A and B are shown apart, each in its own frame.
Chain A
Amino acid sequence: MNAIRKFDLKALVASVILYSILEGLIMADIIGPFWELNIILICINVILATSLNLINGYTGQFSIGHAGFLAVGAYTGAIITVKLGLPFELALIVGTISAGALGFLIGLPTLRLNGDYLAIATLGLGEIIRICILNIDYVGGASGLMGIPRITNLAWSFGLMIFVIFFIKNFKNSAHGRACLAIRENEIAADTMGIDTTKYKVMAFTLGAAFAGTAGVLFSHYFYIAHPASFTFMRSFDILTMVVLGGLGSMTGAITGAVLLTFISAYLSDFPEWRMIIYSITLIVLMLRRPQGLFGSQELSLKMFKLGGGKDGGNTVTGK
């Protein structure tokens, strides 16, 4: 199956080219600091959306506490660099692992629940994490952890985004990923096919949480500060909206959702009071017109363009 590797290689080359163009435009000052910030935010949001899609879209476990894991990554990363004075690379690794470990611990008991119950449990979890952080003086409590160096740049965020996209894409196209899809489709049938459903649910949840942690480290090391107010349940809903907008279970959909919503937010930053209104109208129209999201559970492909139903999704070329 050399075709698989060839495709991977092509996608990789395409993303390197895209990166060089972006970097070039920034160097040449065509993209100013405002849009540079938004491009980095897009990368972070793509990581968040694709990792949530792994849990919600592929495995079918409805989690809405993603901001909690983002916070864990942001704070542990900041502790490593600010409090302990250790390098950023280590912060990335520790932030990822600690969010993943927490996801594992939380996943074991909560993934026995399903549907609405799991949603409420994960929502509660996100809030618990935030309130715990709020009360720990070591990390600054309500005033947040300040003085974090700005280390995240386009190279870091873009590179890690590509890494996460490839990881999740290849995971989905393996036996492990198929097990997760089987659980989403019919848990009882998956069980009788010899699939340890608990193991795979926890695996998907842990991986998703870990990548949210990665995004957290990038986030706090770009905005100089880790503040509890950035990790409320509204943030969780933001991420969920991206995934649902693009289509649950579609990787390219999650990426498109993240790109689109970040752009909309950026454009509307001059009228913050309008932002939520336009946001909600977009969603209402979408749910009425296309309840399955932009792409449904399909992936964006050349075939879609040939049928004339394609939609330009920024850097989605890299997402197959």
Chain B
Amino acid sequence: MAETLLQVNDVSMVFGGLRAVSNLNLEIKTGELIGLIGPNGAGKTTAFNMITGVYTPTEGDVIFDGTRTNGKKSYQVTQLGMARTFQNIRLFSELSVIDNVKIAYNMHVKYNLVEAVVRDGNYINEEEAITAKALDLLKIFKLDDKADEQAKNLPYGEQRRLEIARALATAPKLLLLDEPAAGMNPQETKELMEMIRWIRDEFKLSILLIEHDMGLVMGVCERIYVLEYGFCIAQGVPDEIKNNKRVIEAYLGEEVS
């Protein structure tokens, strides 16, 4: 039995009079690949933002790897081992591809400000190591030949890949992907599906993903949570979800009686 990596207990998020997410319960075990789906405006990204520390939940607890993370800032949550990508890609667009990845290694860098300025041996060694690691990672994602290009000049699909590579560079235990297939054609989506599964096995981490593309979610996720109007209306393995009446209603509307 794998241990629990992320535990979301009865979490709610209230913006003024709007309950964006109500009493959400979520559990992810080590090594699992979980999907979070729901119609537009269901509160999926809000749930993501609460888990990653962008928002502090108004009620409830988020426990990650044994630490209570609500109230912690985003960067602290990342340092605990959680990384994410964004629905609308947020790269450091004016910087080079390799610098995008190097920045993700920042929190593991050991030299201090003085060593950086005088460029002592420690600085040189660390920088060499970071560059090598970043290049290795880029090679995995077939981006190494574009290492010195500005990130904004990459085609869309490669920008998505770079964002995932950057997230992986923080050495996460849990990777959250916010609509990784947005704007991709069926062929690219299929490749992405294989890549997600491969990342999980290769980097030995758990993945939580938000997605609209049902083919991708049903094909790759082991368990799925469904949100509607901030409430979790169903959870289970893909086959259960496919046949769940509430889910079909949420997506296609109620039957006229």
A166 and B95 alpha carbons, distance in the complex (Å): 21
User: Which of A1, A8, A177 has its CB near the most chain B CB atoms (within 10 A)?
Assistant: A1
The reply to whether A178 and B99 contact each other, CB–CB distance below 8 Å, is: yes
The reply to whether B92 and A179 contact each other, CB–CB distance below 8 Å, is no
Contacts of B73 in A (CB 8 A): 191, 196
Segment with Cβ contacts to A, from B8-16, B26-34, B79-87, B190-198: B79-87
Compute how far the CA of A194 lies from the CA of B124 in the bound complex, rounded to whole angstroms. 22
Band of interface residues on A: 20 to 34
* A185 B123 Cβ-Cβ under 8 A: no
> Are A181 and B75 in contact, CB atoms less than 8 angstroms apart?
no
Interface residues on B, range: 35 or more
Instruction: Check B91–A186 contact: CB distance below 8 A.
Output: yes
Contact of A190 among B52, B103, B118, B124 (CB under 8 A): B103
Residue on B nearest A168 in the bound complex, by CB: B117
Q: How far is the CA of A197 from the CA of B106 in the complex (A)?
A: 12
Q: Which residues of A contact B118 (CB under 8 A)?
A: 170
Mask for B84-98, Cβ within 8 A of A = 1, else 0?
101000111111000
A259: interface (CB < 8 Å)? no
The docked-state distance in angstroms from the alpha carbon of A166 to that of B119 is 11
CA distance A95 to B75 in the complex (A): 34
Asked if residues B117 and A1 are in contact (CB atoms below 8 Å), the reply is: no
Give every chain A residue within 8 A of B106 (Cβ-Cβ): 175, 178-179, 182, 193-195
- In angstroms, Cα B54 to Cα A167, docked, is 34
For A193, the chain B residues whose CB sits under 8 A away are 75, 78, 83, 103-104, 106-107, 166, 170
Interface-central residue, A167, A196, A203, A297, by most chain B CB under 10 Å: A196
The answer to whether A5 has its CB under 8 Å from any CB of chain B is yes
Report which of A1, A170, A174, A196 forms a contact with B75, defined as CB distance below 8 A: A196
* Contact yes or no, B116 A189, CB < 8 A: no
> Judging by beta carbons under 8 Å apart, are A5 and B92 in contact?
no
CA distance A195 to B104 in the complex (A): 8
Q: Given A176-B113, A179-B106, check contact A8 B119 (CB 8 Å).
A: yes
B232 to chain A, nearest CB (A): 24
Asked if residues A1 and B107 are in contact (CB atoms below 8 Å), the reply is: no
Given A1-B128, A5-B119, A178–B75 Cβ distance below 8 Å? no
Q: In the bound complex, how far is the Cα of B105 from the Cα of A133, in angstroms?
A: 45
**B237 partner residues in chain A, CB cutoff 8 A:** none
Does B65 sit within 8 A of A, measured CB to CB? no
Whether, in the assembled complex, B248 has its beta carbon less than 8 Å from a beta carbon of chain A, the answer is: no
Given contacts A1-B124, A5-B119, whether A189 and B102 have CB atoms under 8 Å apart is: no
Tell me the smallest distance from the CB of B125 to a CB of chain A, in Å: 9
In angstroms, Cα B104 to Cα A192, docked, is: 9
Shortest Cβ distance from residue A160 to the other chain B in the assembled complex, whole angstroms:
15
Q: Say which residue of A1, A181, A189, A195 sits within 8 Å of B127 (CB atoms).
A: A1
Could you tell me if B92 and A185 are in contact, using CB atoms closer than 8 angstroms? Answer: yes
Q: Does B182 contact A (CB under 8 A)?
A: no
Residues of A near B126 (CB, < 8 A) are 175
- The reply on A224 being an interface residue by CB < 8 A is no
Question: In the complex, A178 Cα to B86 Cα: how many Å?
Answer: 21
Any chain B CB within 8 A of the CB of A188?
yes
Nearest-CB distance from A116 to chain B (Å)? 21
Further 14 A-B residue pairs, CB within 8 A, beyond A174-B116, A177-B116: A1-B124, A1-B128, A170-B117, A178-B106, A179-B106, A188-B90, A192-B84, A193-B83, A193-B103, A193-B106, A193-B166, A194-B79, A194-B104, A194-B170
A-B CB proximity, top 7 nearest: A174-B116, A185-B92, A194-B78, A194-B107, A189-B90, A175-B109, A191-B74
